[in-house]
Structure 1
């Protein structure tokens, strides 16, 4: 064994080892569910749900139950009556790695736990600054970078939810207009489980020189965090594949921000997608997203077929 490996904070599992941890967790999804939940160019099957998602669902159930019991014991110790607060799961990873599909499948499985918890999914896209403001700040070409998000607003929402506030409203983002939808909000009402998905959710706070290092970060509100990972060459290929599909579908919408790319050839689509990837997404991945991977409680590694082949779980 490599001496460096012996000092890793993670326990490594291959696919078969992880699948065995499912134990008796029942399958609560159907083939129809799988088809409705998977992304544009992703590979998702009932076998993937059985081998990867069900063991994870079991692990999260144990964590959520233990956290709830701890809250109850803390209330007893302090002689307080703190109301229900959500168990928060954070999901991070690169653009095009499959976070959204992963989050949707996880939401479905968790909502079908024996106690039927109320599960809400919050994506951080809604906390991007509007395009107008990004342009005024001169950072439109850094959309998706940490500085393009209204982190203060996101922290306020998470703080309210973790304080037991019954209902919060969050902005809605449109992938058609590539912008915040004016006067539209998502209402999140007293969830038992909250899933927060976004590329930068594990980002630590950036502290300016001379300031105290007591700022909150989004991950401070997480009870469990997951990083979805893959080789950057694979992620780039998936990004290009998705771009090619979108140019024939969503980009054709009359309100699409990218409608100028609708119907271009596959060769032109490759060049455009590669330019965006090299200029923005790859830079963001290496400068901001990938460095946060080691902050996750669990890392899922995908192979070139979009299937998870290795799982790293932080030692407890």
Structure 2
């Protein structure tokens, strides 16, 4: 007799201890000084967390990459040909200020130390934002980061070239200092083993295209946290930037460098509520359950639980 009342759960959930046990004998290849260069401005990630969370994660990714490489060999055997190996593509999504860039950099650093895929490139979708000149013409400067502010066709074309095994594919470069695309500068992707694509929009499904960015992913990760935590991290980072990037005379946000703590908090909250919260609620958070892996962060930026999609 078949029982149908048991609820199907699409994800297997692990707490930190359960997940850490899946590291097995994966060696720790990052030092404390390596980690300090990878961590974002207001994030606190320890070597212990790298060992407990990121090593099991990269072990899982490595097993997936090996399986993909073996499948490629099977296809070559079937075709009786030696076709060009294409990169394994990982997408990393999440809110502004949630720490997805740090997650992407740590994963890149660890994966690049595995012997069977030493070349791991990282691309951010910020480079595929329309230049400010175009955004101003379209009246979208205050919608920067929303789906309509990205040149999705260019991003999809870029990923299609990578998945076709094309050599020397270029991506535009975005500068957070000038808050714009850097003219005539490009990131060159030349047949790496793995490409990590990080951005708030990578799991979105725009209505004006039949092909999505995520169609090119072999694996996708969503970095999540409560909205209250993300808001606090955004405000905290904004305050810290007053004495770093904002103080640079070339910074687009130099007008904020002289704000007091109270003024900075008020300004950051206004920007968050008017732009980033709206984008999170409407366009980013709804994509979470499209991810293969969900990393849940606690108030200290530590990953407290992991959800792995059943396949």
User: TM-score, normalised to structure 2's length?
Assistant: 0.97
Secondary structure at the aligned position of 1:6 is classed as coil
Q: Displacement, 1:139?
A: 1.1
Question: Does 77-86 or 187-196 show the bigger shift?
Answer: 77-86
Change (3 A) 1:12 1:69: same
Matches within 5 A, 1:168-183: 168-183=169-184
Partner of 1:160: 161
Are 2:145 and 2:279, in contact at CA under 8 Å, matched by a contact in 1? Answer: yes
Give per-residue Cα distances to partners, 1:124-152, cap 9 Å, x unaligned: 00000011110100111110001100010
Secondary structure at the aligned position of 1:81 is classed as coil
Secondary structure at the aligned position of 1:309 is classed as strand
Are 2:117 and 2:194, in contact at CA under 8 Å, matched by a contact in 1? Answer: no
Partner of 2:188: 187
Q: Displacement, 1:4?
A: 9.8
Structure-2 separation of matches of 1:160 and 1:199: 22
Partner of 1:110: 111
> What RMSD in Å do the two structures reach over aligned CA positions?
1.4
Structure-2 separation of matches of 1:105 and 1:192: 17
Matches within 5 A, 1:1-316: 6-207=7-208, 215-316=210-311
Structure-2 separation of matches of 1:220 and 1:43: 33
Q: Displacement, 1:74?
A: 1.4
Q: Displacement, 1:245?
A: 0.5
Give per-residue Cα distances to partners, 1:81-109, cap 9 Å, x unaligned: 32010000000000000011111110000
Aligned length: 308
Give per-residue Cα distances to partners, 1:155-192, cap 9 Å, x unaligned: 11110010010111111100000000111111111110
Question: Does 67-76 or 117-126 show the bigger shift?
Answer: 67-76
Q: Displacement, 1:206?
A: 1.0
Secondary structure at the aligned position of 2:221 is classed as strand
Are 2:147 and 2:206, in contact at CA under 8 Å, matched by a contact in 1? Answer: no
Change (3 A) 1:254 1:63: same
- Structure 1: 4+ residue segments shifted above 3 A: 3-6
Structure-2 separation of matches of 1:117 and 1:193: 9
Q: Displacement, 1:272?
A: 0.5
Secondary structure at the aligned position of 1:101 is classed as helix
Structure-2 separation of matches of 1:4 and 1:201: 35
Unaligned runs of 5+ in 2: none
Structure-1 separation of matches of 2:99 and 2:240: 15
Secondary structure at the aligned position of 2:54 is classed as helix
Secondary structure at the aligned position of 1:7 is classed as coil
